[in-house]
Amino acid sequence: MATAVAPATAAAAPAAAVRDDYEAMAKLLRDVSSLSSISGLVGWDEMTMMPEGAAESRAKMKSALAGVIHEKSCDAALGEVLAKLQAANLDQLNQFEQATVREAARDYKKLTAVPKELAQREAELESKGYQAWVKARQASSFEQFAPVLQEWVDLRREKAALVDPSGPVYDTLLDDFEKGMTSARLDEIFGEVKAGLVPLLAELRERGTPPSDAWLKGDYATERQADLCHKIAVALGFNLEHGRLDVSVHPFTGGAHPTDVRMTTRFKQDDLTEGITGAIHETGHSLYEQGRNLEYDGLPVNQALSMGVHESQSLLWERMVALGRPFAAYLLPLMREYFPSLPADKSAEELYGAVNVVKVPSMIRVEADEVTYPLHIVIRYELEKALIEGSIQVSDLPKLWTAKMSEYLGCEPESDARGVLQDVHWSAGLFGYFPTYSLGAMYACQIYKAAEADLPGLSDDIAAGKFGRLKLWLNEKIHRVGSLHPSGDELMKAVTGAPLDPQVFLSYLKDKYTELYKL
């Protein structure tokens, strides 16, 4: 009320305003986050619990909730407080709070750039695209799918021009999945991957001796597999107080909140390895979710940094841990306990070999192993980038697909269904998503190397079924850090001392497989 203000107060006033603005922003964001949590729960229910005849009412529920979340995310009040914070000096906020402002402003700008009418067209094309893809794949006819794919290309270009009129279109799309990544950097990374893996794969195929995995074939009751994997998930650190394990047709990790993580698995009677590695993969995602930093609960800084970083956590546990030599020593006695019919004369070393056979010819991405998988991704990246940039046309895809498969993987698909139509992603307009799978694998490898350096005796721990130190290390270095860093490269620098280096990944594969394949 006084007009004469002491200097100290004058300096403090804007500081107090920043704190107030921050809290006002946080409250709005937390409400949206709680509604998004509900969305996660509803999605889990749909995949695991919902009766068949409820699909129509469920679609209406989801649409109503999505509408509310969109309204609240684009709330003008949120925009105003974000504008104030972006214009202010944020020094008094800690680094997590500053990152929250940065991430919230980024999300708000992206969301409000897209008019409702365009969002509506996207939603319609999603459903139309999925149906067209299912039919085209059944008929194994890319031509049937081509028109809807063209619609997606056009719509994505239209959207990207609204979100960022100046940047390369593909980079704008990529940013939705792998924040801070660019196509220039991906060209570098995938160029190295291709240069390293194509000759390695050829050598393994031509001169290598695959380990024997025939003895692992058998008949494994799915209930027993589920029990075994429940035990392994808990041993790795899955917290049943803050999550559930269920079975669903497509395994996934979802749920409502770090304190309510819903992980699902799937088991096939004739494939024990796939059931176990799939469950461990989902456990890796779950440990990330359960490990998120509750101090910043409901704020963007507490979200996973990117799809690639999330995938790094599933793949670290699946590939770096579960497909590693020490884990076989832990797993073999457990497998024998649950499936006494397993041959008694096999060693942990033989199990390590059996689960690491490179599956060639490798036609289908989702069936690929760690050596062939990145090449599937390179193919998709090169094609979708060229498509979005306009240097190739939709109609060019089948021929180019076949040519690249032949060049990189040494095999050609016998049909569109098992070739260019095998993945659902493009039918949903997901361009920029595929690269995150292999970024995840490379992040995982580099992170695991850093963990080994930080945690002496890690291999002995794993062989003894002790996973606690590694889990805590990941909690601290990755999970609790959330979206503090603006990109995967920055996170890599903080955790491993260097940005992502594909050579770490390539050396790992080369060392592992030249030894396993006796080269």
Q: Which residues are catalytic?
A: 282
Q: Nearer to a copy of itself by C-beta: 63 or 209?
A: 63
Q: How far apart are CA 357 and CA 299, in angstroms?
A: 43
Q: How far apart are CA 507 and CA 519, in angstroms?
A: 15
Q: What is the DSSP string of 53-115?
A: GGHHHHHHHHHHHHHHHHHHHT-HHHHHHHHHHHHS--TTS-HHHHHHHHHHHHHHHHHHHS-
* Residue 345 in the binding site for a copy of itself (CB under 8 A): no
Q: Nearer to a copy of itself by C-beta: 71 or 367?
A: 71
* Residue 472 in the binding site for a copy of itself (CB under 8 A): no
**DSSP designation for 212:** P
Q: Six-digit token pair at 431?
A: 């361009």
Cβ(356)–Cβ(512) under 8 Å?
yes
Q: Nearer to a copy of itself by C-beta: 286 or 438?
A: 286
Nearby residues of 170 by Cβ (< 8 Å), 6 or more positions away? 183, 384, 385, 388, 389, 431, 432
- Residues 112, 488, 378, CA angle at the centre, nearest 5°? 95
Q: How many residues bind a copy of itself (CB under 8 A)?
A: 39
* Residue 24 in the binding site for a copy of itself (CB under 8 A): no
Closest approach, Cβ 315 to a copy of itself, in A, equals 26
* Residue 38 in the binding site for a copy of itself (CB under 8 A): yes
Of positions 242, 336, 477, 480, contacts a copy of itself by CB under 8 A: 242
**DSSP designation for 415:** S
Contact region with a copy of itself (CB under 8 A), list: 61-69, 97-105, 190-198, 416-424: 61-69
Closest approach, Cβ 141 to a copy of itself, in A, equals 33
Q: Could you give phi then psi for residue 164, rounded to 5 degrees?
A: -150, 90
* Residue 257 in the binding site for a copy of itself (CB under 8 A): yes
Q: Six-digit token pair at 358?
A: 């490179």
**DSSP designation for 463:** H
Closest approach, Cβ 44 to a copy of itself, in A, equals 9
* Residue 134 in the binding site for a copy of itself (CB under 8 A): no
- Residues 298-317 within binding reach of a copy of itself (CB under 8 A): 298
Q: How far apart are CA 288 and CA 163, in angstroms?
A: 29
Q: How far apart are CA 341 and CA 462, in angstroms?
A: 25
Q: Would you mind telling me the total number of residues written for the chain in this entry?
A: 519
Contact region with a copy of itself (CB under 8 A), list: 31-39, 150-158, 216-224, 420-428: 31-39
Closest approach, Cβ 370 to a copy of itself, in A, equals 32
Closest approach, Cβ 513 to a copy of itself, in A, equals 40
Contact region with a copy of itself (CB under 8 A), list: 133-141, 190-198, 233-241, 350-358: 233-241
Closest approach, Cβ 397 to a copy of itself, in A, equals 39
Contact region with a copy of itself (CB under 8 A), list: 5-13, 58-66, 183-191, 410-418: 58-66
Q: How far apart are CA 32 and CA 299, in angstroms?
A: 9
What is the per-residue burial (b if ≥16 Cβ within 10 Å, else e) of 226-245? bebbeebbeebbbeeeebeb
* Residue 42 in the binding site for a copy of itself (CB under 8 A): yes
Q: How far apart are CA 346 and CA 136, in angstroms?
A: 45
- Residues 70-99 within binding reach of a copy of itself (CB under 8 A): 72
Of positions 24, 43, 45, 230, contacts a copy of itself by CB under 8 A: 45
Closest approach, Cβ 356 to a copy of itself, in A, equals 35
* Residue 259 in the binding site for a copy of itself (CB under 8 A): yes
* Residue 60 in the binding site for a copy of itself (CB under 8 A): yes
Q: How far apart are CA 430 and CA 384, in angstroms?
A: 10
Place of tokens 């992603």: 425
Of positions 68, 119, 162, 417, contacts a copy of itself by CB under 8 A: 68
Q: What is the DSSP string of 334-352?
A: HHHHH-TTS-TT--HHHHH
* Residue 293 in the binding site for a copy of itself (CB under 8 A): no
* Residue 256 in the binding site for a copy of itself (CB under 8 A): yes
Q: Nearer to a copy of itself by C-beta: 34 or 150?
A: 34
Closest approach, Cβ 172 to a copy of itself, in A, equals 31
**Where along the sequence are the contacts to a copy of itself (CB under 8 A)?**
30-31, 34-35, 37-38, 41-42, 45, 49-54, 56-58, 60-61, 63-65, 67-68, 72, 239-244, 256-260, 297-298
